[in-house]
Structure 1
Amino acid sequence: MTSAIVNVYSNDHKLIRGRALLDTCSSANFVTEKFPNKLGLAKKKCSIPEGAMNDLSTVTKHVVKLKIRSMHNSFEKTLTCLTVPEISNLVPNEILSREKLRIPANVPLADPQFNVPAPVDLLIGAGPTLSMFYIGQIDLSTCGEDLCVQKTRLGWIIGGTPGSSKMHNNLVNCQITELQDSVNRFWEIEEGQPQNHFSAEELECDKHFQQYITRNKSGRYIVALPFKNNKEALGESQSKALKCLKSLFYKFTKNPNLEVKYRQVLDEYVTLNHMTEITDGIDGDGFYLPHHAVIKENSLSTKLRVVFNGSAKTNTGLSLNDKLMVGPTIQSDIVSLILKFRLHNYVITADIEKMYRQIHVRPEDRKYQRILWGT
């Protein structure tokens, strides 16, 4: 019940009320993901695993700095908080009887509504919590209870455990929700991936694949692009592709080494017959894919990749990806694969070089995968 209502400064220096828990065990400060958005505060990206936050574990994706101010005096403190989806369930878990606590009337409580279940916006860790304690404590214990009010710079907080025989009419609460959820998650992982439930589009895309897939004499698969049934025109795409190409050539003038590596990649496409030059007449139909370089210096195989952008919009506001159906995920997930490691003594892995480029697109659909390039 060690809750407190605090004022928190927003991005435009307004004071917004939030509900905080003062925790003498937590090694860090936490805030819900929604609260910084409400304050308009900037969040920095991070990835920090955290445990015992109402779940077995979670991953903190952002860190945010916020300044709190006491409701009762001019005390202010800046906190660095890790963001989590949720800090706890409603605190307390049920309404408590204030009358039976015998709280002195002249004690300004940090959370006047401490006895009413309410959500928590932030959790203040052990260091800041202990630094805000004042000398001053009133013992409210009766019949062996451990209950008191403690003076802090945020006001007086209620701490301890109220007697269940007086507070809850002989009802004893045992919080086993977390254990039950943990056991459920354990068995869900052990059982592997449940039966898939595909959407109507995923089923239609799978049907399209089965209907049009063929193999040529050398054994390579030939597939058809899974266009949706709508008849809306794709639109003109060449002008945007040309603009991107000019921008790319400008970068080449600033970075000749980039040009060398980029040309090597596209030359390999031609050498392996994964890309062919168009020599016949070109009609107005089709789609031109803008392309650019993605550099990954820590890659052991390919440090520079050429990415073809199927999401680029045409003059109608549509892209090639907008016109294509999205199929279901049919390969096994990583958890199922790892679980299979238990069945055998040895595991063999293999890699198919340029796997996606080993599959051909049928000739009538290749006009939707054109690019502009120059020597």
Structure 2
Amino acid sequence: MNPEAIPFKSAMTNSAILHTASHERTNVLLKTAVAEVLSQSHSSSANILLDEGAQRSFITEDLARVLHLPVTGHDTISLASFGGMSQGVRSIPTSEIYLKSETRDLIKLEVLVVPTIAVPLQNIPTEIRHLDYLRGLKLAHPLTEHNNDLFEISLLVGADYYWDIVEDRVIRGNGPTAVKSKIGYLLSGPLPVSGHRTTDLHMLNVISAPPSTFEMEKFWQLESMGISSEESTDGTSGNLQEYMCNSISFEDGRYVAKLPWRDYHPTLPTNYDICKRRTEATIRRLSQEPEVLKTYGEIIADQLKGGVIEKVDQQEDEHTVHYIPHHGVKKDSVTTPIRIVYDCSCRQSRDQPSLNDCLMSAPPELNDLTGILLRFRMHKYAVATDIEKAFLQIGLHESDRDVTRFLWLSDPSDPCSPLTTYRFRTILFGATCSPFILGATIRKNLELNSSEWHVVIRRGSIHFQGFRDHADDVKKSRRTVEKVNHTEIGVNGGSDRCPSVPTYHTTDRTLRCVLVV
């Protein structure tokens, strides 16, 4: 805190604000340029950054749309960010453009198309024109009256084409260095220090009198800026909307979903060796209790019969292949004494990722739980229901099934029989993204089957994989149940009577007698 700082009195909020100033900063220029780029049919001006630190050249999707660039292929590359210890693998579309030089020659560039390249840079200040050693040079980045605006990068030229553009002549002086290129002189380096001081400003609000409620709300909103999450107006995040549109489809009477992969996830290993070792260990452990081994095998057989899993005949596939180990967890249940758990967090080694490491771990889009609980307490009767085997009702897209492979006995009655490869045809319980996929599928189903009743459900009654409602009399609650039974709130596409919502719970004994479906 600066002891010489002068308090500033605010008449509106009656608060004291203390100002402090810090050290001087010097701006540094990077090699930027503005030049014309062309495709086979269109041309446009591009804001260019030339960077030897990048191995490849990139173009933004916005500029690619302006140029009507066709996709010429896809490159799978490893991207590493500054300060990062790992690399992410991503498949990126490629295209070709032409950069027009000062002599109107065209320089061909193969570029990768990405949504954005970098945050905007500070433009070159117009004071540069007063430096004597730069006078008479044609700069690749022209100085205009708009140079106080930020410089949005639309094309990055990396080391693959850098020396096809940059030439040998270098001019030095009391300021940034000028390097000759085929599109003009490029400036880079620190700007000369001027009398103007760039300072950091630190503020401390000391409330000396009780402000109004509005002012207090505004104060805490400002205090939480950048900390609290912004709520979308429709209660749905942009990631969820994009996933619902592009990754969930309705095929053959059921919803089919793709796994939400991370954009820069590392290469997923097969995990075959560790999966085989752990499966064999599970079989040896289960063999000590033959009845439990038999039940374990029956569960897998039932999943195969019900279309939850399928056998894999071929051992290689064009898609990424990954094996998941599994083990049994005992339950205090007479009908199902053991439950199979699939370990999607299994790593082949400490330095290699698991399946969950490569998937988005976004939480499910939930209605406000506080609102659900409060509405539950406002009426005399409450009704709740669950969706039966919700995850297993959603099909897994063909392109993602091979990352859910697992091994099991070809003959469950013989612990020494060879292992057979299976894979999931549905969303499996154990993947970090499964709750998110379920919530997105339910929400999409409600939006596609629009009705007054669906609007009521979307406004606040759905929570994860269940439905809750409340009423003040038995008849109204019974009507609610009848509407739910004839409403497609399930994820299996629905029918006249939705078979995915079989279990009801209620707070009233009389009402419980009529909730028999």
TM-score, reference length from structure 2? 0.37
TM-score, reference length from structure 1? 0.48
